[in-house]
Amino acid sequence: MPGIRLIVGLGNPGDRYEGTPHNVGARWVQDLAARFAVPMAARGKFRGSVGRGDVLGRDVWFLLPSTYVNLSGESVGALSRFYGIEPREILVAHDEVDFPVGVARLKNGGRHHAHNGVASVVAGLGNRSDFVRLRIGVGHPGRRRMIGFLTGKKLGKRDRALVEESLEMDDALLELVVDGELDKAMSRFHAPKPATE
């Protein structure tokens, strides 16, 4: 598959939602941009904060939509159309209630699994779903209201640490991702973590 040219992090805008389960994708992209010293700046034309820089020798765009999660496709679609970025060249990082906290998985294409943000991205890309997803486990609320669980309370210290640990990618693994070597990347990323003493 082609390499990744655009990395998107889904999340709701504003301080109120910072640190909530719904914003783990945006947090990962913010941290990744900082890791490679890629400055992010608001771009009204694309309804989000945009950056572009060198990631391990590859030219990569970063996008944090400033819309609410369920309208993320407006931002992703606008930027991808303007710069001619194909859906297969996009990675979208988002929260995943089907996975427990501490589990993250890469996936190529497929259904949106009732995630309104991913569904919006599919629509914004002309109903194409063949983009890469980084699904970040935040656990399921059980009988509690889903929206309150995702946006009403920040992750606790232990859960934040588990999320961060689940998202660890060294340069060798990240290189596989941005080069489009997704099968190799998934094999490494999904392998059980070595037990710590």
The tens digit of pLDDT for each residue in 122-139 reads 999 999 999 999 999 998
- CA–CA gap between residue 84 and residue 82 (Å, rounded): 6
Tokens 């699904």: give the residue: 135
How confident is the model at residue 140, as a pLDDT? 85
Q: Which of 22, 115, 140, 190 is catalytic?
A: 22
Structure tokens given for 29:
């992209």
- Residue 197: pLDDT over 60: no
How confident is the model at residue 82, as a pLDDT? 98
Q: Judging by DSSP bridges, how do beta strands 58-65 and 6-9 pair with one another?
A: parallel
How confident is the model at residue 145, as a pLDDT? 79
Q: Containing H/E element for 27?
A: helix 24-35
- Start-to-end CA span in the chain (Å): 39
- Identify whether 22 is a catalytic site residue: yes
- CA–CA gap between residue 123 and residue 131 (Å, rounded): 12
- Residues 36-40 have a mean pLDDT of 98
How confident is the model at residue 111, as a pLDDT? 77
48: phi then psi, degrees, rounded to nearest 5 = 180, 180
Best CATH choice for the domain 6-189 from the list 3.40.50.1470, 3.40.50.1980, 3.40.920.10, 3.50.7.10: 3.40.50.1470
Q: How do the domains of the chain map onto residue ranges?
A: 6-189
Q: For a pLDDT cut of 70, what percent of the chain falls above it? A: 97
| pTM to 2 decimal places | 0.94
Q: Judging by DSSP bridges, how do beta strands 132-137 and 90-96 pair with one another?
A: parallel
How confident is the model at residue 135, as a pLDDT? 97
- Residue 2: pLDDT over 90: no
State how far Cα 129 lies from the chain centre.
15
